[in-house]
Structure 1
Amino acid sequence: MIGPQAQESFEQIFFMAARTRLVTDPQHACEIVAASNDSARGEHAVLLTISSMQFRLLLILNIKDDEAIRTYYLGAAEGALVDAFMEFGNLCCGAMNQHLLEHFPDLGMSTPYALDSQCLQYLRELKPDYVQSYALTIDGAVQLGATLCVCAGAPFDFAAAPLSAAHESAGELELF
């Protein structure tokens, strides 16, 4: 029910958001490759949703609580890795939401919440129209998993304009 241009657009929007919002420094590279649904797992899953009248998008970010991720996202600070990572996930989902607003003015976005990574095996129960998993490598050392899952209420398609990092907002507050 989701057209091929929409699938490509969701992927393009996610890639731009991940490369600019899941990194702690804009100079850090974020390599993204398609992965099997099973390989995108970590111990923790952070779930975010974007909903419209036409679709519900779930962004599931998977992390392992290892030294590379702790150092990257927490530095020397103490605290829960999942809590710190949820902030980055929220920024990533917010950037996706901003781009999708150009095509769907009725969007709503959830706050991030953590789940056990075993929940991914139940995605098919939602009867999604599009599911794609990715393996992300940040700054050559940090490994993450991500899954885009889109459920549609009716057939739709859209084409996102090509995105460039130069036009990417930094997430600042907008005043109306």
Structure 2
Amino acid sequence: MIGPRAKDSIERIFFAAARTRLVTDAQHVCEIAPHASHTAQGAQVVVLTISSMQFRLLLLLHFDDDETMRRYYAADAQRTLAEAFMEFGNLCCGAMNQQLVAHFPDLGMSTPYVLSGECLPHLRELKPDYRSSYALVIDGSVRLGATVCVCSQTSLDFVAADTETQSESTGELELF
């Protein structure tokens, strides 16, 4: 069971992380809107996981390998779009992890990997306690989808600090 304050906190944490970590330039705007369907919003999905003793949070970032995405995320042509986008996804998930660790000190993150967008209907097999989908538009032209899915072994309710007023991390190394 995930309480309403926890759901609100998870959404705010995701929004703040997406707006600061999925953009290639701090001046770019990331618009986020709820997406009514839990269907794939892209042919591919980057999957990231944050796990604790109490819950498992999956962040799935949906994307298409098209010219707009390649120009935005892999313009240097040194890497594939999937490789470049996994790095941005990892930054986004890491920002979420930094906010959640204040409430759950035993968190761990997975290595990102890419699956087909056709995997999304199978999320129901996890029997998530919370699932939310979003449509994202970055810099007016880059279109992504996102699904946040949380499975919990216990009751989960917490209130995250206002992520908009906290100081932004610049990517410094964390030692564990």
Question: Per the shorter chain, which TM-score range?
Answer: over 0.9
Which residue of 1 is the match for residue 148 of structure 2? 148
1:77 shift after superposition: 1.6
Size of the aligned set, in residue pairs, is: 176
Q: What TM-score does the superposition give when structure 2 sets the normalisation length?
A: 0.95
Which residue of 2 is the match for residue 8 of structure 1? 8
1:67 shift after superposition: 1.1
Q: What TM-score does the superposition give when structure 1 sets the normalisation length?
A: 0.95
Which residue of 2 is the match for residue 28 of structure 1? 28
Which residue of 1 is the match for residue 171 of structure 2? 171
Q: Which runs of 5+ in 2 are unaligned?
A: none
With over 3 angstroms needed to count, the CA separation of the structure-2 counterparts of 1:88 and 1:123, relative to structure 1, is same
Which residue of 2 is the match for residue 126 of structure 1? 126
Residues 47 and 58, structure 1, Cα contact 8 Å, conserved in 2:
yes
Residues 40 and 120, structure 2, Cα contact 8 Å, conserved in 1:
no
Residues 9 and 158, structure 2, Cα contact 8 Å, conserved in 1:
yes
Q: What secondary structure sits across from 1:167 in the alignment? A: coil
- Cα distance in structure 2, aligned partners of 1:151 and 1:167: 29
Could you give the per-residue CA deviations for residues 136-173 of structure 1, whole angstroms, max 9, x where no partner exists? 00000000000000000011200001112661101211
Q: Which runs of 5+ in 1 are unaligned?
A: none
* Correspondence list, 1:68-147, <5 A: 68-147=68-147
Amino acid in structure 1 at the alignment position of 2:169: S
Identity %: 64
- Cα distance in structure 2, aligned partners of 1:95 and 1:132: 18
State yes or no: 1:47 paired with 2:47. yes
